[in-house]
């Protein structure tokens, strides 16, 4: 596997910036849900994992965590069709719970739209979205997002949970891919 430095065009968000923004988000969520005794964070696998584990450490009120995985049909690896299939469902009932959906990135919005639609049929008390990254210019369908870490330009990013062909999720920062260099080296 190649070293990421071969195709990293820039560090978009540093480890320090992530840590400080995620602390703010955690504090805000702790305030907003201070009266709730039924908060559950739902992480969408796999991209949201690193964000979830850092975010939950910054949330000072008791809460549960859950995981779900969805796969989108049809489209290529970098575009979503909006049609999703649940490949791993929640283990608990979210009826009457205060739910925060924790996402890595919102791009077209199709994935999130479908997930929200599906979760709302289970009648949670409240349902909010917390995304680390928002590529707002790319939105094709409107989705309500309560917490946004960073609004970013339309560039393909990786690291901090986000993958490039399944690798590099471990990097502690958000980097921008130099697509040309990445693809060139891939075909060698
Ligand atoms: P949407 O349905 O178009 O909003 O797609 C969102 C999903 O696409 C995210 O959960 C990511 O898995 C993936 N995605 C979109 N943009 C990027 C990116 O820049 N890097 C890595 N994954 C991305
Ligand atoms: Mg994802």
Angle between helices 49-57 and 15-32 (to 10 degrees): 60
Q: Is the pLDDT of residue 77 over 60?
A: no
For residue 110, give the ligand nearest its CA. 1
Measured distance between the N- and C-terminal CA atoms of the chain, rounded to whole angstroms: 12
Per-residue model confidence (pLDDT) at position 76: 56
Tokens of 166: 């399944």
| pLDDT recorded at residue 181 | 95
Asked if residue 173 has its Cβ within 6 Å of ligand 1, the reply is no
What pTM was computed for the model? 0.94
| Cβ(160)–Cβ(21) below 8 Å | no
Measuring CA to CA, which residue among 161, 34, 172, 57 is closest to residue 103? 161
pLDDT of residue 80: 65
| Cα–Cα distance for residue pair 66/92, rounded to 1 Å | 8
Mean pLDDT over residues 131-138, rounded?
Answer: 96
Mean pLDDT of 131-139: 96
Per-residue pLDDT, averaged over 65-73, amounts to: 89
Classify residue 148 by burial, with Cβ atoms within 10 Å: 0-12, 13-18, 19+. middle
Could you give the CA distance from residue 44 to residue 49 in angstroms, rounded to a whole number?
A: 7
Residue 88 is predicted with a pLDDT of: 95
Please report which confidence band the pLDDT of residue 30 belongs to, taking 50, 70 and 90 as the band edges. very high
What mean pLDDT do residues 48-61 have? 98
Is there an atom of ligand 1 within 6 Å of 109 CB? yes
Averaged pLDDT of the chain: 94
177: Cβ below 6 Å to ligand 1?
no
What is the set of active-site residues? 107
pLDDT at site 78: 61
Percentage of the chain beyond pLDDT 70 is 94
- The whole-number average pLDDT for the span 103-132 is 96
What backbone torsions phi and psi does residue 8 show, to the nearest 5 degrees?
-80, 120
Ligand 1 mean position, distance from CA 100 (Å): 19
Give mean pLDDT, residues 14-18.
98
Q: Is the pLDDT of residue 108 over 80?
A: yes
Residue with the bigger pLDDT between 27 and 85: it is 27
Is domain 14-73+80-154 annotated with CATH 2.40.50.150? no
Structure confidence at residue 74 (pLDDT): 58
pLDDT at residue 81 above 80?
no
Q: Once rounded to an integer, what is the mean pLDDT over residues 70-92? A: 77
């Amino acid at each position: 596997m190649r070293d990421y430095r071969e195709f990293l065009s820039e560090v978009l968000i540093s480890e320090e910036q992530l840590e400080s923004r995620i602390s703010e988000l955690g504090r805000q969520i702790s305030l907003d849900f201070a009266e709730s005794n039924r908060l559950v964070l739902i992480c969408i696998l796999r991209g949201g994992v690193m964000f979830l584990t850092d975010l939950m450490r910054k949330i000072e009120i008791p809460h549960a965590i859950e995981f779900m995985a969805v796969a989108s049909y049809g489209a290529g690896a970098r575009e979503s069709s909006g049609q999703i299939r649940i490949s791993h469902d929640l283990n608990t009932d979210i009826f009457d719970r205060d739910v925060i959906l924790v996402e890595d990135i919102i791009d077209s919005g199709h994935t999130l739209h479908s997930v929200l639609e599906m979760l709302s049929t289970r009648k949670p008390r409240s349902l909010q979205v917390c995304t680390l990254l928002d590529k707002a210019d790319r939105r094709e369908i409107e989705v309500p997002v309560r917490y946004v870490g960073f609004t970013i330009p339309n560039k393909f990013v990786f690291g901090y949970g986000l993958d490039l062909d399944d690798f590099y999720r471990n990097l502690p920062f958000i980097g921008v891919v130099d697509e040309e260099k990445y693809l060139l080296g891939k075909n060698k």
